[in-house]
Structure 1
Amino acid sequence: MKKTVMMLGPSTAAVSGVSTHLNQLFHSALAQQWELVQFQVGSEGRAESTLSKLWRFAISPLQFAVAICRLWPAIVHLNTSLEPKSYWRDIVYLLIAKLFGRRVLYQVHGGALPEQFFAGQPMRRWLLRRMLRLADAVVLLADIELQAYRQFDPRLVLSVIPNAIDLVPDPAGKEQQLQGPLTVAYVGRLARNKGIFELLDALALVRREGVALQLVIAGGGPDEAELRAAVERLALADQVRFAGPVFGKEKDELWARADVFGFPTYHREGLPYALLESMAARTVPLVCPVGAVPDVMQDGEHGVFVPPRDPAALAAALLRLERDRALLRRMGAAGRQRIEQAYTVERLARDFDAAYTRLCTEH
């Protein structure tokens, strides 16, 4: 008989990295080895009024306790992040799970590093340490996080399980399309800290060198109106297309047509799915080395690292790739190989199967 794992996270219909993660696990081989069930937390994927949100805050912990009594899961898999809203909300679920004696896998999807999270607040830092110790296993996305959590508290039970993707068919013939100006794709939230405004500035600098690159911006977010105004101000309307949020086949087609993934984010990223998708499609990443990005790609081998908030460096990198198509082809092929070797859903399922088995064995 399969043992039950209760997954805590947003709606699987929501547009978020954690929703993608949950969907992958529910549809992977892991679901053949374990009985995976979801308990929805958070506002993502919900349409609710202020009053209904307050009611949810009040009743959700009780509903969680009832669900534990009804399903009696062997493991509670809590998906969270070191962001204030997620952290304070998920403390309650962690405490309830431990109150019922359940094994807890506490997976952190990015956010601040622990030393930075409550810097200058000793009581809150103490509470963070105590909460992390309550978890039976803490799963991280990146080696840099592993080092930081070890330094924060050597007693924590830590491991790294990176994100993964379903591989699209290998577009090996894509290199034949490298004719004319390069097409750059941005896929992500339209927010200033994702580096998208710097990418526009870089496009304008490249144009001054006589090169008119094309940029496709896919996604939505709080800064879209300001972003559109910046396109007009920089006179880039003939080079920039807003595609809106893209999913499934439409997203695959976008990657297939793009030569470069422009994503100079300086947000506290975990492991962006768009990075893995772009590399799988032989679309060369032009990114900042944040979060787990350096675990996935090496500068000059799979893509190009640029410093944050630096349009001039972005422009120089774009011109380099524009002028060296052989390098672009080599990095595209190396990126595809990297994803095939280490970032597939099959590997993800094996890693969590091993993690769950350890928790049940140690119990």
Structure 2
Amino acid sequence: MTDTSLPRLRILHVFRAPLGGLFRHVLDLARGQAERGHQVGIFCDSTTGGARADDVFADLESLLSLGVTRVPMSRYPNITDARAQMSAISVRSRLDPDIVHCHGSKGGLYGRLPALASPGRRYATAYTPHGGSFNYKPGGTEHKLYMAVERLLEPATDMFLFESRFIAGRFEAYIGHMPRTDHRIVLNGISDPEFVPVDHTEASFDLLYLGELRSAKGIDTLIDALSLLKSRDGLAPRMLIVGSGPDEAALRALTISRGIAEQCVFEPPGPIRRALSRALVMVVPSRAESLPYVILEAAAAAQPLVSTDVGGINEIYGPRHRNRLIPANDPVVLADAIRSMLATPAAARDAQAADLARHVRENFRLDAMTDGVIAAYRDALAKRSEAQPERPVKAA
């Protein structure tokens, strides 16, 4: 799809790690924007993502006419920040984009800090937090520091693009007001092929955890719930754990100490639909989320789900299903929910999952996300052009 009625845009996406839902979001946007005739580039970290990120970028090479630039970046404040910041400035200057779209707290810093000192710039900045610094526990030193940075960079942001109502609410609660510059909510979207129901005829596991292996994801609560099912109810559901992260060794040890190691199989990240097909029910025990793609993808594929009620997950579930969500950090409630779901006849589970898939199809479409973001870009550029009519948006 090419938008021929308006000038094509030069778009640079800036973020840190080519991992997880944020990476998926950027890839979907970049691909959709390129297919609509815009010129797109990426600036991100070179030390994360591994072979999978290398393969993805190689596949996208022909679409990304502004290329992929990767430099070392640190997750936390570090001396490498200064070098990465200078590289970001250099790349932006060389590519001369119309839009610098920043993703996550680190991308927001690299893309918006130079803009703070350039109020007369031609290009417009867009910022999608993806949770990022807004998922830190309020009141702590880190949270206060990151919120101070967010307040500092707000005037350098032409367009805030919140991917969920939840994160927009977090911004208002932690910053003290909704953005004073332009802002809107553009929900994450799923492509049509992802709405094909997954086939469970070869499933050999009862449960699936899919995601990062770190504390915020609540996998320890899930392990405790399985231990409780075994000791209290005499149940031993088999669980496939697909993912990687800093807590992998500790979680493996926890399955041993809780006496359920023989029920659990750990595997590295892989294609999501293959993982979904191998288990009857996916469990999301998270303590914190924004609007997680893993649930969007699983729900679209009509995968039966047990999930905690955190972040924007209730937006995905919608009014018909959000009462099925459970509180985080409670292994007893989680164990009961897993037991109930596994005891539900397969036909009833599938009907429930199909109804949730219909809700996702109605509200979380990839084309709507891509077009909504591009429309926001154009509005931001129009406001900037009004202030500088002598410098129109460049055509490709």
Deviation at 1:168, TM superposition (A): 3.9
Q: Is the 8 A contact 1:203 1:315 kept in 2?
A: yes
Cα distance in 2 for residues equivalent to 1:123 and 1:59: 21
Is 2:259 aligned against 1:220? no
Shift, 1:97, TM fit? 6.2
Q: Which aligned pairs between 1:49-60 and structure 2 lie closer than 5 A?
A: 57-60=81-84
User: What is the match of residue 191 of structure 1?
Assistant: 214
Distance 1:91 1:173 in 2: 41
Q: Does 36-45 or 167-176 show the bigger shift? A: 167-176
Partner of 2:393: none
TM-score by length of 1: 0.83
Identity %: 22
- Residues 220 and 169 of structure 1: is their aligned pair in 2 closer, same or farther, counting only changes over 3 Å? closer
Unaligned runs of 5+ in 2: 1-6, 50-69, 385-396
CA contact 1:203–1:213 (8 Å) conserved in 2: yes
Q: Give the AA of the match of 1:161.
A: V
1:244-294 residue CA offsets vs partner (Å, 9 max, x unmatched): 2213xxx31211232222111113x22211111111221122222221111
* Deviation (angstroms), 1:317: 0.6
Of 180, 183, 195 in structure 2, the residue corresponding to residue 158 of structure 1 is 183
Match of 1:104 in 2: 125
The correspondence of residues 267-306 of structure 1 with structure 2, limited to 5 A, is 267=288, 269-298=289-318, 301=321, 304-306=324-326
- Tell me which of 166, 179, 196 is aligned to 1:144: 166
Worse overlay, 323-332 or 274-283? 323-332
Give 1:358's aligned residue. Answer: 379
Equivalent in the alignment of 1:8:
14
Match status 1:347 vs 2:368: yes
Rounded to whole Å, the distance in 1 between the matches of 2:336 and 2:244 is 27
Cα 1:184/1:153, change in 2 over 3 Å: same
Letter in 1 for 2:92: I
Give deviations 1:89-134, integer Å, cap 9, x for gaps. 5553443665634211111110344997677899986663242132
Residue 332 of structure 1 corresponds to 353
Select the residue among 174, 199, 205 that pairs with 2:228: 205
TM-score, normalising length from structure 2? 0.76
Partner of 2:57: none
The alpha-carbon deviation at position 172 of structure 1 amounts to: 4.4
**Equivalent of 1:312 in 332, 340, 353:** 332
Q: Which residue of structure 2 aligns with residue 25 of structure 1?
A: 29
How much has 1:135 moved relative to structure 2?
0.7
Aligned 8 A contact 1:129 1:153 in 2 = no
* Amino acid aligned to 2:9: K
Q: How far apart, in 2, do the equivalents of 1:30 and 1:193 lie? A: 34
Q: Which residue of 1 aligns with 2:100?
A: 76
Letter paired with 2:220? F
What residue identity is the alignment partner of 1:343? F
**Structure 1 residues 240 and 162: alpha-carbon distance in aligned structure 2, compared to 1, 3 A threshold:** same
Alpha-carbon contact 1:263-1:288 (below 8 Å) kept: yes
Contact 2:202 2:277 in 1 (8 A): no
Gaps of 5+ in 1: none
Offset of residue 189 of structure 1: 0.9
